[in-house]
Chains A and B, each alone.
Chain A
């Protein structure tokens, strides 16, 4: 089982749609959780951290369920500029570990 698994995608959605991405992770010792965004041929950039209580940043909402080892990202009112690959990321394999483990990413295309 891969350490971080994501919906394979691609997701092609019209502008204004709501889209949800799901992710599961295998290492229960993982400490921190993130969604990164990567544009074509660019470096990954942090979109948002994910907390057990759930967190929202404008049109983006992230949720973490530690018991199910499940992470989600919801994008409301999709914009053309949201088109990118979204990477589910888990930090740490145990105490003192800060390596990031990335999923393969889910490609989102928002269509006019």
Chain B
């Protein structure tokens, strides 16, 4: 399977615990995104990496949330001291984008992984 993969697919945790999710993007993609989706809503942007650099972060990403992409390949999203309001589907997406010497170039389709469903009890 050469698509975006996420692990685990489901996570149940107690309030106050820390959790970490992993995303493996499509291998040739240099951009990686994290989104969160709650029931009845569209996905909401959390953060975005180009290679190993974290270039955008949403206001939704509180200081309990941290994301890394240390080698520009896989990424991890950690939530510390989980709260019941963190229960959601966490989606990872990847895409390819080029950079010219003049400006950041166009991006291409973002491919989504199957998501990690987090339940905080």
Residues of chain A at the chain B interface (Cβ within 8 Å): 4, 32, 42-46, 87, 89, 91, 95-105
Contacts and interface: CB of A to CB of B under 8 A. Distances in A.
B50 to A, nearest CB: 8
A45 B4 CA distance: 12
Name the residue in B56, B106, B112 with the highest tally of chain A Cβ atoms < 10 Å from its Cβ. B112
The secondary structure that dominates the B interface is strand
A95 B102 CA distance: 13
A99 B56 contact: yes
Interface of B: 31, 33, 35, 40-45, 48, 55-56, 58, 91, 93, 95, 97, 103-104, 106-107, 109-110, 112-115
Contacts of B114: 42-43
A104 B41 CA distance: 5
A99 to B, nearest CB: 4
A104 B110 CA distance: 18
Contacts of A44: 43, 91, 112
B110 to A, nearest CB: 6
B65 to A, nearest CB: 15
